[in-house]
Amino acid sequence: MIKNENHTIPKDFTSYLMETVGLSEADAEQLSLPLTRMRYERGSILLKRGDICKHSFFVEKGLLRSYMLDESGKEHVIQFAPENWFIVDRSSVYFNDPSESYIEAIEDTDVVFIGEDFMCHAAEVSQIFGRYNDKLLHNHIRQMQKRINLLLGATAEKRYLSFIEMYPDLLLRVPQWMIASYLGITPESLSRVRKELAHKNFKTN
């Protein structure tokens, strides 16, 4: 359930545009001013399968995840999005296809809605943003390719270590079954991997 809607300047997103993208304070505030920020309670669904995704979601505070359901109804986690991350169903938002995934709030989460009009306007206002957006897209493709390679050929341990590298602050924020789903293994296998790694670390210390 949505708690509230906030039309003030999204300060954390403005800071992101300045510190990460490299925009000036004036440009960052100008771009952020029209954006809408929403607060979602834990368990809220921001996007459902079959819906058309109209926005990318930028997480100012909290945690989102995207997941799909297979034919048996089993969940498969695609991505987590903590603070300063974007999350979106790209096929839906760029090609107007019905979404095949869900986006859910794992924690109470403040979200900034980023539409295609924002991307076009930001690229016009700042060449820096245009170059950054291209880099962000290519990095997303690179990470997804790496994810596919891990799921197809890596051991459970290597997948888990890659998860820690990608999401170093999420181990205590995400239920273990969700991490297992993201890794493509069972919760029992994840527990075994964690115990084996703990044993290895204990032996080397």
> What's the CATH code of the domain at 103?
2.60.120.10
Average pLDDT over residues 137-165: 93
Whether residue 174 is found in the same domain as residue 128: no
Percent of the chain clearing pLDDT 90 (strictly above): 67
| Domain count across the chain | 2
Query: 10-41 in b/e burial notation, b at 16+ Cβ within 10 A?
Result: bebbbebbbeebebeeebbebbbeebebbbbe
Percent of the chain clearing pLDDT 70 (strictly above): 94
Range of the domain at 119: 3-137
pLDDT for res 123: 84
pLDDT for res 149: 94
pLDDT top residue among 71 and 7: 71
